[in-house]
């Protein structure tokens, strides 16, 4: 097992379905990661302590995922100079807009790099890009990922041209959406 270099902090077990995609992407890129359940308001000492000790344990980037009035990413960032990526989790009365605003609107001095609501894949990729600054293997894997992304779109473009719009949509999305 690889030593974790990315720490994912979730504010609640209800955030787990969202962060699962971040973990899967980190796995795909061969990056060691760990997952911690720690809430900024229910377990503030645990969240702060985890962030404060992360660098000393070899963690190089934190991803903090929370919904509602989400202050987890900022609370973690307050305790470390590691880069912290805020992942606003959707849901609740405001569908994640509350979490997005709370996470992205950090006052000057303690930044949080914020991805989209439920943007777990981009959170993982951004963490990987930070790791890749000092890790050629990680950089190479990211390059390969980008090439696969490009090839997949090129393949769809060729198929669309070859099959035509209606046939392509029927094959891809089924009859209900044509
Ligand atoms: C936040 O409140 C969590 O990050 C979660 O997204 C949201 C709801 O938490 P639960 O009431 O589902 O535990 O603290």
Asked if residue 147 and residue 72 are part of one domain, the reply reads no
- Cβ-Cβ contacts under 8 Å for 112 (sequence gap 6 or more): 64, 73, 74, 77, 84, 85, 86, 103, 104, 106
What are the two backbone dihedrals, phi and then psi, of residue 25, each rounded to the nearest 5 degrees? -70, -40
Residue 15 Cα: closest atom of ligand 1: 6
Asked if residue 57 and residue 27 are part of one domain, the reply reads yes
The pLDDT of residue 116 is above 70 = yes
Asked if residue 112 and residue 49 are part of one domain, the reply reads yes
107 domain residue, yes or no: yes
Residue 23, pLDDT score: 98
Take atom 13 of ligand 1 and give the residue whose Cα is closest.
12
115 domain residue, yes or no: yes
CA 136 to chain centre: 21
88 domain residue, yes or no: yes
165 domain residue, yes or no: yes
Mapped to the 3 state alphabet, what secondary structure does 121-165 carry? HHHHHHHHHHHHCCCHHHHHHHHHHHHHHHHHHHHHHHHHHHHCH
Asked if residue 100 and residue 88 are part of one domain, the reply reads yes
Take atom 9 of ligand 1 and give the residue whose Cα is closest.
12
178 domain residue, yes or no: no
Asked if residue 52 and residue 69 are part of one domain, the reply reads yes
Take atom 5 of ligand 1 and give the residue whose Cα is closest.
67
The pLDDT of residue 178 is above 60 = no
Question: Which of 77, 87, 31, 85 has its CA nearest to residue 58?
Answer: 31
37 domain residue, yes or no: yes
Asked if residue 110 and residue 148 are part of one domain, the reply reads no
Range of the domain at 153: 138-173
Q: Which residues' Cβ are closer than 6 Å to ligand 1?
A: 11-12, 14-15, 39, 66-68, 89
Residue 14 Cα: closest atom of ligand 1: 12
CB atoms within 10 A of CB 51: 27
Domain holding 111: CATH number? Answer: 3.40.50.1970
Take atom 14 of ligand 1 and give the residue whose Cα is closest.
11
The pLDDT of residue 114 is above 80 = yes
1 domain residue, yes or no: no
107 DSSP 8-state letter = P
Question: pLDDT by residue (tens digit) across 28-61?
Answer: 999 999 999 999 999 999 999 999 999 999 999 9
- Cβ-Cβ contacts under 8 Å for 25 (sequence gap 6 or more): 120, 121, 124, 125, 128
Cα–ligand 1 centroid distance for 61 (angstroms) = 22
Total tally of structural domains belonging to the chain? 2
Output the pTM of the full model. Answer: 0.95
Asked if residue 112 and residue 66 are part of one domain, the reply reads yes
Cα–ligand 1 centroid distance for 14 (angstroms) = 6
Residue 1, pLDDT score: 77
């Amino acid at each position: 097992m690889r030593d974790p270099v990315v720490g994912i902090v979730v504010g609640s077990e209800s955030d787990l379905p969202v962060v699962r995609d971040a973990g899967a992407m980190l796995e795909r890129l061969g990056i060691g990661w760990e997952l911690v359940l720690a809430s900024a308001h229910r377990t503030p000492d645990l969240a702060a302590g985890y962030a404060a000790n992360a660098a000393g344990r070899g963690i190089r980037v934190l991803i903090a995922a929370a919904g509602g009035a989400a202050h987890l990413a900022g609370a973690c960032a307050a305790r470390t100079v590691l880069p912290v990526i805020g992942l606003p989790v959707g849901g609740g009365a405001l569908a994640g807009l509350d979490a997005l605003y709370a996470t992205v609107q950090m006052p000057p001095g303690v930044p949080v790099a914020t991805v989209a609501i439920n943007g777990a894949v981009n959170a993982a990729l951004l963490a990987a890009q930070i790791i890749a600054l000092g890790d050629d293997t990680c950089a190479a894997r990211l390059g390969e990922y980008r090439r696969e992304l490009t090839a997949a779109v090129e393949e769809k473009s060729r198929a669309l041209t070859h099959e035509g719009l209606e046939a392509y949509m029927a094959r891809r999305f089924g009859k209900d959406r044509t």
